[in-house]
Amino acid sequence: MSLIEGIVGSVIAAGIVALIVAGYRRWFGQQIRIVEPREHDLLPPAETRNNVVCHPVRGTLKHLPKDHEIWLLVMDASKTKAWPQDFSPIEYNAEKGTWKGYVHVWGWNQVTVVAVIAPPTSQDFFNYYQKLGRDGKTNYEPIARIPPECKKYDIVQTRVPRPGA
């Protein structure tokens, strides 16, 4: 084997390794996780945020892609209807890879919380949904499902603490 063949082989191998590492970071670095509450645990105690009684939700995300946002949705127990939450923006700390948001639970006993990495099209849809609700044109009817372009999400089914408990 000549010196040039060895160099070319090394460059090709380094390129393949770089592609694998980049692919791993892109896929696994964008995995969003809800860490509080845990599956079937109680939601943390309620707080008042922007005049809304709500419960904090915390999670992890190593990398938020450019032009994407974290959104929280709550789903009814049947997981067939979802309400995007926007009364309090998600607080994302890129250095620590953590985020915190809030959900309103309408007095339910159980709720499913969904954290999604929303691309611009889904953000537009969620914002339009919220605008209609704020304008009083709807009764905040739920959306039918998580938008299909929200490919990265985490779901936790949780219990709602009784008021005063």
Compare 17 and 122 and report the one with higher pLDDT.
Answer: 122
101 vs 5, higher pLDDT: 101
Distance CA 160, CA 55 (A): 9
Query: Whole-angstrom Cα distance, residue 113 to residue 79?
Result: 10
pLDDT value of residue 25: 47
Position 21 in a domain: no
Mean pLDDT (the chain, rounded): 82
Residue 3 lies in a domain: no
CATH (domain of 64): 2.60.40
Which domain range does residue 82 map to? 31-159
Look at the chain and report how many structural domains it folds into: 1
- The token duo for 39 is 């599956």
Quick one: average pLDDT of 91-117?
92
Mean pLDDT of 28-56: 87
Check residues 42 and 16 and name the one with the higher pLDDT: 42
Structure tokens at 104: 């309103």
Q: What is the structure's pLDDT at 43?
A: 92
The pLDDT of residue 98 is 96
- For residue 64, being part of any structural domain is answered with yes
pTM of the model: 0.78
Strand order of the β-sheet with 69-75 is 82-85, 69-75, 110-118, 153-159
More confident residue, 135 or 98: 98
Residue 7 placed within a domain: no
Amino acid at 124: D
CA dihedral (43, 142, 64, 25) in degrees, to 10, reads: 90
Tell whether 16 is covered by a domain.
no
97 lies in some domain: yes
Residue 49 lies in a domain: yes
Residue 48 placed within a domain = yes
Burial class (CB in 10 A: 0-12, 13-18, 19+), 17: exposed
Please give the distance of CA 126 from its chain centroid, rounded to a whole number: 13
